[in-house]
Homo-oligomer: A and B are copies of this chain.
């Protein structure tokens, strides 16, 4: 059985895209190929059915099928499953399926509703109770997408009060000081550590590692850039890590555009041979000829730079 995530987990959990055929069906062959691609580039684990995995456009059966294919193919690599859903029952059903199949944990973003932090706190307590203490949880803190900003203090309370809340997917923006605040908390004896993996496409990965993040959980189409940056940093080569990272920054910041960026990412994955079609499921972004020429230019520039 695959290991579960814990409060010391680190490395790169790649946010996996979901490949579709041009007709909009889930392409399980490509999905397997994509898992191999990610594994081949040295990721620590995978996170599936996140926002960039287009989970909200799938049926429950389709989500379960994605879970099955990925966990099966991952061959022991830990797999975190995004289970956010407007309905608690849908959330727990998917989480139950995922954990039964050997998932390493589940990821949950705050449910839609007023941004009052007491409501959000109550929601996570309800989710934790519904899932039970044995399901490791990741808090996805992505206010740009959810419209729900949360204080570092609330994340800390949830981490302390809920033993299963082990990891933060950090993508508040700007959010560098949040990492610093959370790590400062932990100097108080008795404060349980929280694993922090960063998102936002990795846009500030070196800064975030320097502030105490444990790695990345994002879906950049060059996973090797994330993997090597984190590895160098953890090996104490802070400058080398940032030098390495900076070469990828031009295309990374292009891919990080909200909405549109998913189509860019899938195009790069297709061109790199990881998936058969760059299609997103409708309604989703599609690249024009101009968009394609632009991203291919950025790919070519990257190759030139890497070859230099």
Contact = CB atoms under 8 A, between A and B. Distances in A.
Given A57-B89, A281-B87, A257 B173 contact: yes
Contacts of A173: 257-258
A191 interface: no
A61 to B, nearest CB: 8
Nearest to A243: B301
A270 interface: no
Contacts of A261: 174
Contacts of A130: 282
A283 B111 contact: yes
Contact of A116 (B89, B123, B150, B254): B150
Contact of A294 (B59, B207, B258): B207
A207 B291 CA distance: 10
Contacts of A254: 204, 207
Nearest to A153: B118
Given A113-B259, A257-B174, A88 B281 contact: yes
Interface stretch (A36-44, A225-233, A245-253): A245-253
Contact of A89 (B260, B282, B288): B282
Total identical chains: 4
Interface in A269-302: 281-283, 288, 290-291, 294, 301
Contacts of A174: 257-261
A60 B57 contact: no
A56 B211 CA distance: 33
Interface string A47-70: 000000010111110000000000
Interface residues of A, number: 62
A188 interface: no
Interface string A147-172: 11111111000000000000000000
Nearest to A59: B60
A242 interface: yes
A127 to B, nearest CB: 9
Q: Which of A148, A151, A211: most chain B CB closer than 10 A?
A: A151
Contacts of A259: 113-114, 174
A203 interface: yes
Interface in A106-124: 111, 113-119, 123
A88 B283 contact: yes
